A and B are shown apart, each in its own frame.
Chain A
């Protein structure tokens, strides 16, 4: 009866032995499988290369991995949410990483890192002066140039590579993590540092937030 356990009962039963533990594990695994299938059903585009049976088997594998992760982290549960909500996040995390890997598995690292400077700033170079007075149009171009300058001059090679992959080529973080053999925290830090430099660069040139966003949100 998975849905009627309290947090304490979950922990007690999962740490018990024999039939009590087996029943709790079976209930938990079923909930984790449901979580994985819930994610898969909403992200079928990522799994388009798989037959239905393969997708269902992948869900079973993810649920099993999530079960192991939850059991290994039981002592981390602080009781500040329902136990099941806490457990679901392991399943969602594994399901998301698996789905993204399937989606991008045929694409090479070179393609993910591809940066064609002309395409990179294509959108910024388009005529977006519609609805803007000449001064605003000129300022919009200056913002674009400032961003380009910061990216080319102030970012490290690694920051630039990650920015191109994730922001311009829209590669999911977990695929970048997997291809570069790193972790989410490291990638997030690189992007965070890049954003800080871009923010400073824009502000140093007098482009404050409201005015700058208004320039670009005015586009039809």
Chain B
């Protein structure tokens, strides 16, 4: 394990809560979380349990990151087209 990974893992150990939401609950709530973020609201303050799950769960965090980025580009009118994306794949 790399030192940075170890440090992050150690931090996550200390951030562990007795009760944490599941991946299914995260999936149910994540679109709301992204919408709050895109609209400039403090998603983490309004949905702390979801934020905590995202900090702990790499799979859910990866999905959230993609969703947020796509949603942000869409909001800015910069979302790539299907053709652009096809051409970007070599």
Name A's B-contacting residues (CB within 8 A): 30, 33-35, 37-42, 44, 52, 55-56, 76, 80-82, 84-86, 88-89, 92-93, 95-96, 123-124, 128, 166-168, 170, 172-174, 184-185, 188-189, 191-192, 195-196, 198-199, 202, 209, 212-213, 216-217, 219
Minimum distance in angstroms from B7 CB to a CB of chain A = 5
Judged by DSSP, the binding face of B is helix
Sample of 19 A–B contacts (CB below 8 Å): A34-B81, A38-B66, A41-B85, A41-B89, A44-B89, A56-B89, A85-B34, A89-B30, A89-B67, A92-B67, A96-B59, A172-B58, A172-B59, A185-B23, A191-B56, A195-B12, A199-B16, A202-B13, A213-B14
When the two chains form their complex, are residues B67 and A219 in contact, meaning their CB atoms are under 8 A apart?
no
B residues 28-49 in Cβ contact with A at 8 Å: 28, 30-32, 34-35
Distance, CA A95 to CA B89, complexed state (A): 15
Chain B nearest CB, measured from A83 CB (Å): 9
Instruction: Say whether chain A's binding surface is mostly helix, strand, loop, or mixed.
Output: helix
Chain B interface, number of residues (Cβ within 8 angstroms) = 47
User: Which chain B residue has the least Cβ–Cβ distance from A193?
Assistant: B16
Given contacts A170-B5, A173-B58, A195-B56, 5 further A-B contacts (CB under 8 A): A40-B85, A56-B86, A85-B71, A184-B60, A213-B7
Cβ–Cβ contact A81 & B89, under 8 A:
no
- Give the distance in Å from the alpha carbon of A40 to the alpha carbon of B67 in the complex: 13
Instruction: State the 7 A-B residue pairs at the shortest beta-carbon distance, nearest first.
Output: A37-B85, A184-B23, A173-B59, A81-B35, A81-B31, A195-B16, A209-B14
